[in-house]
Amino acid sequence: MSELVVHGTNEMSVRDVSEIFAKSGMFDSAQSAVQVAAKLIVGRGLGMNDYDSMQFNIIKGKVNLNANMMAAAVKRSGKYNYKVIAHDENQCVIEFFENWGEGWQAMGTESFTMEDATRAGLGGMNWKKYPRPMLFARAISAGYRKFCPDAFGMAAIYVEERGETEIPSSEPIADAEVVETSIESQYEDNYDRLKQMCADYESRTGKNVSTGMCGYFGVECIDDMKADSVPAAIDMMNTKLKGIDSDA
């Protein structure tokens, strides 16, 4: 009987692991072996195992981790640590520590509040539904960059939570107050529009398209989709609906 035995971590070649992951169909982000290989190379460079490497995104050439991975890196480093000293639906305050072999020394605190979120033009659906994890993500990432930027090597690391990424848009921001209103309006209008399009398609064809759409984008429901993925999803639904009209 043949057995697949993996000893230790990252002992299989990037090529072999990439082909296995891409063919397995278990990872929505594994569209090709080349895409998987890129993630594995970056992940191994950051000290991750291959499975963890599949959990982050690379956007515009920048590594985009979830908050838990960033927090784990701080604690796993052995050099740094943190303690959450205040956390509710209005704020998250985290104290960071460093150890040079003489015990833990406090370096300072980092916080993120709902007021900070409003000032930054944040406040979409996920900020309303999941304020605590969103606040933690912003606080841990700000503290990471300020107090322990080498916990994952020297490359810049960004955080994402519930589909929202810190990676800045390439579009210029002229007025924070105007941007805040625009983001809020576009966010909810686009999500509602996508839901309506899916409902329209399902009522006309009797086929469930919402589940497949969510699976394609790697989320459980439409509300969890990344804001920059929604326009692409709307385009896909436009094509599907036009196909129905042309067949009629």
User: 3-state secondary structure string, the chain?
Assistant: CCCCCCCCCCCCCHHHHHHHHHHHCCCCCCCCHHHHHHHHHHHHHCCCCHHHHCCCEEECCEEEEEHHHHHHHHHHCCCEEEEEEEECCCEEEEEEEEECCCCEEEEEEEEEEHHHHHHCCCCCHHHHHCHHHHHHHHHHHHHHHHHCCCECECCCEEEEECCEECCCCCCCCCCHHHHHHHHHHHHHHHHHHHHHHHHHHHHHHCCCCHHHHHHHHCCCCHHHCCCCCHHHHHHHHHHHHHHHHHHC
Q: Which two three-digit tokens encode residue 191?
A: 């999500």
pLDDT of residue 246: 65
Q: Which two three-digit tokens encode residue 204?
A: 């006309």
Going from the C-alpha of 73 to that of each of 77, 85, 140, 153, the distances in angstroms are 6, 19, 11, 10
Whole-model pTM over 0.85: no
Whether residue 139 contacts residue 120, with contact meaning beta carbons closer than 8 Å, is answered with no
pLDDT of residue 182: 36
Whether residue 75 contacts residue 82, with contact meaning beta carbons closer than 8 Å, is answered with yes
pLDDT of residue 22: 87
Name residues whose C-beta falls within 8 Å of residue 49's C-beta, 6 or more positions apart in sequence: 9, 10, 43
List residues bridging with 96 in a β-sheet: 82, 108
Name residues whose C-beta falls within 8 Å of residue 247's C-beta, 6 or more positions apart in sequence: none
Burial of 8 (0-12, 13-18, 19+ CB in 10 A): exposed
Low-confidence ranges of the chain (pLDDT < 70): 1-10, 29, 169-189, 245-248
pLDDT of residue 10: 57
Whether residue 164 contacts residue 124, with contact meaning beta carbons closer than 8 Å, is answered with yes
pLDDT of residue 132: 95
Distance CA 131, CA 190 (A): 21
